[in-house]
Structure 1
Amino acid sequence: MAIRPETMMQHLNKLCFEWDKAGLSLDSNSSCIRQAGEGKLLVSWNSDNIVLKENEFSSLSEYLTLLLGSHYTLVLFDGSIIQISYTIHRNEIVGHRLCWYPSPIELADINEIDDIVYKIQLILKEGSDALEDFITAPNKSPSVNIKGIYGKSPIRFDYCIVPDYQKDAHPDVHLHISSEECRIPVKTPLCIRMFMKFLVENFYSHIPLEGVLVNGLPSWENNDMLTQHHKNKMHFNYQR
């Protein structure tokens, strides 16, 4: 797929505009173009750090770091974080990071990012008190009653071209669930439309696919990146 970085940036900014206009987001970041080395350009959300290494994947600390550091393309109405970035070399897409990070708490009547942080703080305090009561109770109940924090895994579709000898163990396109070490092979890189369609179909079925929010998003053909080793095991496949 041939695409100029400036065009990709426009696509991502249009996505944010439409979801903001529909009242489906709490916040969004405009996208920008950065040097990524070796002649590559990264089209991504506009914040100081793009990929964070110091926080564990699928952890409350990582969620809060992404939220407070503004490391996102969109924050949806339910507190979920969406990250969309594409790496481009000579007008060809050679990498992407497409992540949906669900909120660990249920949100209602939340209008600001700070409200999410405050609610998490409150739930953690109440949960700590409940845990202390459980531990110190002379006649313990069979379960500890800590409400409000949910163990929801993020999902992240990564694309990066690796040497042939590494492909079987590290698929060029793969899906992370729960752990960085989990790399489920995916047939092709994802376009913007396919990623957002996957999210809406599986997590936001009340949002219409037709129109500018999903089916009006850019789409393009991609090459099959699976090795025979991947085809012989469980993997992600889809038809455009």
Structure 2
Amino acid sequence: MRSNQLNSFISDLIDIGLVFSNKPISEQRSGRITMVSVGQSGKPTKNDYDITDVVEDNLPEETSIREYTRLFENGFYSLLFHDGSLAQLSYSISNRNGDIIAYRYVYIPAVAEIDVSASESPDIHLNNADLSKLPRHPVLRFEFDPDGQARRHPESHLHLSSNSTRIPVNAKMTPRCFIGLIIDYYYEGFIEAFHAKYPQMAVAAGHLSQDDEKRFHIAPYRI
């Protein structure tokens, strides 16, 4: 997906009311590939954190409430959903044919009902809240990393609230496919409007090893 296609797609998400705002799209060309990212959406490093957030060189858990508020307050996301949830989008494409050759897509659910149109901060809801009673959906991180493929580390996989949990995904996913999955399972009220613009197609071609094919895995539709 080229930058102009991605920009048009994000505009459609804003038009249907799913996304409230987005960060700028950037491209970085390097040899035969182009890296595309929306805002600050790559894997965080120690330099991205305030020193008080780093304990013994360990970064905060990406599923934690503290990490969500840090991302929200500092604008470390690609898309801000209408309910305060966040998405991060970054991927690399081949300059020869435009195929996606690596990606990192992350969905970070809001930790409270946040009115983003009123510029609310998560702190408004968290300062006096009983944190033990706040519902928390899992963080979903889809990655495609052919160079990192190994036993129990499929090139295409889903991290489900844990770095060590890698569920094989039997296809490369486009940003459209990723957002379509999020809508289907978390935003039922937007399914009709989204698929009117982006209908589902056949299951995409497989990208799993024979061993991973035998394991439980996800087979996403193409969108």
> What TM-score does the superposition give when structure 2 sets the normalisation length?
0.79
- What is the 5 A alignment of 1:56-71? 56-71=61-76
**Residue 36 of structure 2: SS of its match in structure 1?**
strand
**1:74 corresponds to 2:79:** yes
- Aligned counterparts of 2:195 and 2:88: Cα–Cα separation in 1: 16
Distance 1:62 1:207, change over 3 A: same
Tell whether the 8 Å contact from 2:184 to 2:191 is kept in structure 1 after alignment: no
How many angstroms apart in 1 are the aligned matches of 2:123 and 2:101?
Answer: 39
Q: Which runs of 5+ in 2 are unaligned?
A: 46-58
Deviation at 1:39? 4.6
Match of 2:11 in 1: 17
Match of 1:216 among 188, 193, 197: 197
Asked if 1:33 is matched to 2:23, the reply is no
Distance in 2 (CA, whole Å) between partners of 1:89 and 1:238 is: 22
1:101 pairs with one of 103, 108, 116? 108
State the alpha-carbon separation in 2 of the partners of residues 215 and 33 from structure 1. 29
Cα-to-partner distance string for 1:18-71 (whole Å, 9 max, x where unaligned)? 222333333211211025x66532111134x63214332211222122222222
Flag the 1:218–1:162 CA change in 2: closer, same or farther, 3 A. Answer: farther
Partner of 1:127: 130
Q: Are 1:151 and 2:136 matched, yes or no?
A: yes
SS of the residue 1:27 aligns to: strand
Q: Does 1:161 align with 2:146?
A: yes
Which ranges of 4 or more aligned residues in structure 1 deviate by more than 4 Å?
Answer: 217-223
| Change beyond 3 A, Cα 1:119–1:158 | same
RMSD between superposed Cα atoms in Å: 2.7
* Residue correspondences, number: 206
Query: Helix, strand or coil: the match of 1:162?
Result: helix
Match of 2:117 among 111, 121, 146: 111
- Where 1:175 maps in the other structure, the secondary structure is strand
| Identical aligned residues as a percent | 23
Letter in 1 for 2:213: K
Give the Cα–Cα distance (whole angstroms) in 1 for the partners of residues 192 and 150 of structure 2: 34
Offset at residue 228 of structure 1 (A): 0.9
**Secondary structure at the counterpart of residue 62 of structure 2:** coil
Secondary structure of the residue aligned to 2:12 is: helix
Cα distance between partner residues in 1 of 2:39 and 2:100: 19
Structure 1 CA distance for aligned equivalents of residues 209 and 101 of structure 2: 17
5+ residue gaps, structure 1: 129-145
| One-letter code aligned to 2:33 | K
